[in-house]
Structure 1
Amino acid sequence: MNTIVVSGASRRFGLMVAERYLKLGWQVIALSRQSSAELDTLVAQGVLWIACDYEDKGSVLKALGQIEQRVKSIQLLVHNASYFAVDSTDFDAWDQLERFNRVHVQAPALMNYQLQPLLTNLDQPGLIVHLSDIFADRPRAAHARYCSSKAALENLTKSLALKWAPGIRVNSIQPGPVKFLPSHSEADKARVLAETPLGYEAGFEPLLKALDYLVDNQFVTGCSLKVDGGRSIA
């Protein structure tokens, strides 16, 4: 049985990934700080939930130990956990940047390195997918700290793709405005869609299709796949 480990799995895209791969017959290990009613439903159907806070090294190491106790190989590792915020105007740049880096760089890197033996397979390479952002390449002034951490995640993608080939493939998906947050106002939505050539909120299905492509195409590594309705070129 194939095994997927997905972080940020209690809601939104991470939850959809867990549900999708459960239906495909995979063993699903779902990581999140807390569970949710929706994730609890999947747990009742066979998903294994492990509490994991990507901001806390001890929590990540504890989750890694539980994963290593339960499986002998991993075919797919999806880093979906994310932290998003506007740059703070207070004197806490160090603390905020550290939080971005822990979630987007340090925790994924720690998990990648420790799970490398379980992912390595010369016949059918394991796959690591980082959920990045189109603004890793096209940063926004108000989100400099967030964007810089996602840029570091993009570099990690390419560096590890080189380092671990051919036994592991490493790629990223760069979402654009696929699904707005509840905090987005109607004015925010209108502005973003006006900047997007395809001009509509697509939902998470295009991201699932992007993940399917990366899983199915064994000749792709070091790739940053934009799923943004064209916003990155507008």
Structure 2
Amino acid sequence: MSKTILITGAGRRLGKTLAEYWLTQGWQVIAHFNTVCELELHPNLRTVKANLAEQKDVASLCQELALAGPVDAVIHNASCFIPDCAATDLGKHYEVHFNVHVKAPAMITEALQWAPEAAMVAITDIYTDIPNERFAAYCASKAGLQNWALSMAQRLAGKVRVNVIQPGPIQFLPEHDEAYRTMVLSQSLIRRELGYDAIVEACHYLLSAKALTGTQMRVDGGRFVANRYDQTFRV
């Protein structure tokens, strides 16, 4: 019988790449998405829609997942990335980030049935350990996700292995101009765009490495240990 993986934020970009990879591995994939799902139909694919910033959506999603049967793996990938300067309501701004990054993963994890030797990965950010004044809500909530995940490694010990991936500059978006790309890559020790496959490889390793739990893996091309004074974003 094939294994089952739940991936949040799987409608596009990194989450879509993760879902497509596990489909090629013969897994049953439950792909959560918010507004847009670019995944093609597949007999092993089940999509579920929910806005993780909204309590009622998360509650409905949890009810659905509770009936989905045991899962072998979970990747908490869904993310909210809004600069603080764009917030018109500061309280709501923080609430949305913490709902998506901390509250929703906690509720989803509590609702799931787990298969034997299951594993979970939470995707945070290298900026959980480096303050960034432009994205304080994002950084604080991703740090909350990381701390929560490590707490789950303790709580679920012997039942579910839990690890954290801290991505750095993995793949640029179309709106990133050449000057921005050059600046970011100059702050990386590898100095090239790593692509989403770098995160796929890290997730595959952590989900299959039976001796690892409670770990944090940086997938950032060495940016975290590069010259820290040069790592302030000014877009």
Same fold (TM over 0.5): yes
Distance (whole Å) between structure 1 residues aligned to residue 125 and residue 90 of structure 2: 21
The superposition leaves residues 187-230 of structure 1 with CA deviations (integer Å, 9 ceiling, x where unpaired) of: 22111111111111110111111011101111111111100000
1:130-145 alignment runs, 5 A limit: 130-145=122-137
Distance (whole Å) between structure 1 residues aligned to residue 57 and residue 179 of structure 2: 38
Q: Is 2:79 aligned against 1:78?
A: no
Distance (whole Å) between structure 2 residues aligned to residue 65 and residue 75 of structure 1: 18
CA contact (8 A) 1:88 1:96 kept: no
2:47 to 33, 46, 49: 49
**Number of equivalences:** 225
Secondary structure, counterpart of 1:119 in structure 2: strand
Distance (whole Å) between structure 1 residues aligned to residue 15 and residue 87 of structure 2: 31
In the TM superposition, residue 92 of structure 1 has moved relative to its aligned partner by 2.2
Secondary structure, counterpart of 1:196 in structure 2: coil
Paired AA for residue 45 in structure 2: V
Distance (whole Å) between structure 1 residues aligned to residue 222 and residue 194 of structure 2: 12
Find the counterpart in structure 1 of residue 225 from structure 2: 233
CA contact (8 A) 1:128 1:169 kept: yes
The superposition leaves residues 24-75 of structure 1 with CA deviations (integer Å, 9 ceiling, x where unpaired) of: 1111101001343x31x1x34431011111111211221222222232x111
Distance (whole Å) between structure 1 residues aligned to residue 224 and residue 103 of structure 2: 26
Find the counterpart in structure 1 of residue 13 from structure 2: 12
Distance 1:33 1:25, change over 3 A: same
Find the counterpart in structure 2 of residue 220 from structure 1: 212
Distance (whole Å) between structure 1 residues aligned to residue 86 and residue 63 of structure 2: 38
The superposition leaves residues 139-177 of structure 1 with CA deviations (integer Å, 9 ceiling, x where unpaired) of: 212111110111111100111101110111111111101
Paired AA for residue 119 in structure 1: W
Listed as ranges, the gaps of 5+ residues in structure 2 are 227-235
> How many percent of aligned residue pairs carry the same amino acid?
35
In the TM superposition, residue 91 of structure 1 has moved relative to its aligned partner by 5.6
Q: If each structure's helix is expressed as a fraction of its own residues, which one has the higher value?
A: 1
In the TM superposition, residue 138 of structure 1 has moved relative to its aligned partner by 1.2
In the TM superposition, residue 90 of structure 1 has moved relative to its aligned partner by 5.5
Q: Is 2:107 aligned against 1:106?
A: no
Q: CA RMSD in A?
A: 1.5
Distance (whole Å) between structure 2 residues aligned to residue 89 and residue 3 of structure 1: 38
Distance 1:172 1:90, change over 3 A: closer
CA contact (8 A) 2:27 2:44 kept: no
CA contact (8 A) 1:55 1:103 kept: yes
- TM value normalised by structure 1: 0.91
CA contact (8 A) 1:5 1:31 kept: yes
Paired AA for residue 58 in structure 1: K
